Amino acid sequence: MNWRKLHRQLAPWLFVILATSALTGMGYRLGRRWFGLEKDAVGWLMSIHTAEWIGEAVSPFYVLAAGIGMIFLLGTGLVMLRQRGSKIRVRFWHRVLGAILLLPLAATAATGVVYKLGHAWLGGGKGDGDWLMTVHEGAWLGPDLKPFYVLLTGGGLLAVGILGVAIIMRRKSQHA
């Protein structure tokens, strides 16, 4: 199977979903922590982040698809890391950032999906699976560093995605 080709074909579409999740997750967490906004003021961001706006029945499927998409991109990216290096500067930085963020993004995606599905499909109540959110949000680093973890994972995802789009645009301009 040509993982590189599949990665390149699916990444732009998945980036739209993942960027939306990253931006809304960062907006919610940083808005609450750094700007003291109440849940009611930024709850709409969490509704977008968890796809609650499309309905309670569909939301877990959306989160599952986004999480699988993230894990897929990380996995195919890992496979491509083993291949020879590139002289293209944008691709180099895309690879470096992807490698650095591999574990934090995988942990964030997996714990977010399991938390959402546990509550939606297994009837998890308040307090069930809180350790998953501790990992997902970086709360294990403590309250002062938690926002920086969110900023690192969300901002890093955006940076890797933007670099990936730049790679695609560069390829298209060379083939035009």
**pLDDT at site 4:** 87
Best CA proximity match to 75, nearest among 103, 116, 49, 115? 103
Element (H, E) at 33: helix 3-35
Give the list of residues 6+ apart from residue 111 with CB closer than 8 angstroms, or none.
132, 133, 135, 136
- Determine what percent of the chain falls in helix, strand and coil, rounding each to the nearest 5: 80, 0, 20
Span 47-62, average pLDDT: 96
Best CA proximity match to 121, nearest among 77, 47, 59, 165? 59
**pLDDT at site 176:** 67
Share of the chain above pLDDT 70, in %: 99
Q: What is the pLDDT of residues 67-96, one digit of tens each?
A: 999 999 999 999 988 777 677 889 999 999
Burial of residue 106 (CB within 10 Å: 0-12, 13-18, 19+) is middle
Highest-confidence segment of 8-12, 120-124, 158-162: 158-162
**pLDDT at site 82:** 78
**pLDDT at site 33:** 96
Q: What is the 3-state secondary structure (H, E, C) of 143-163?
A: CCCHHHHHHHHHHHHHHHHHH
Indicate whether 175 pLDDT > 80: no
Give the list of residues 6+ apart from residue 11 with CB closer than 8 angstroms, or none.
73, 161, 164, 168
**pLDDT at site 31:** 97
Give the list of residues 6+ apart from residue 68 with CB closer than 8 angstroms, or none.
113
DSSP conformational letter for 2: -
The predicted model scores a pTM of 0.92
Structure tokens at 158: 């955006």
Report how far residue 49's alpha carbon sits from residue 39's, in angstroms, rounded to the nearest whole number. 14
Q: What is the pLDDT of residues 91-141, one digit of tens each?
A: 999 999 999 999 999 999 999 999 999 999 999 888 899 999 999 999 999
Instruction: Name the one residue in this structure whose structure tokens are 């690192």.
Output: 152
pLDDT confidence bin for 171, thresholds 50/70/90: confident
**pLDDT at site 25:** 97
Residue 30 has a CB neighbour count (10 Å cut-off) of 17
Indicate whether 152 pLDDT > 90: yes
State the average pLDDT for the chain: 94
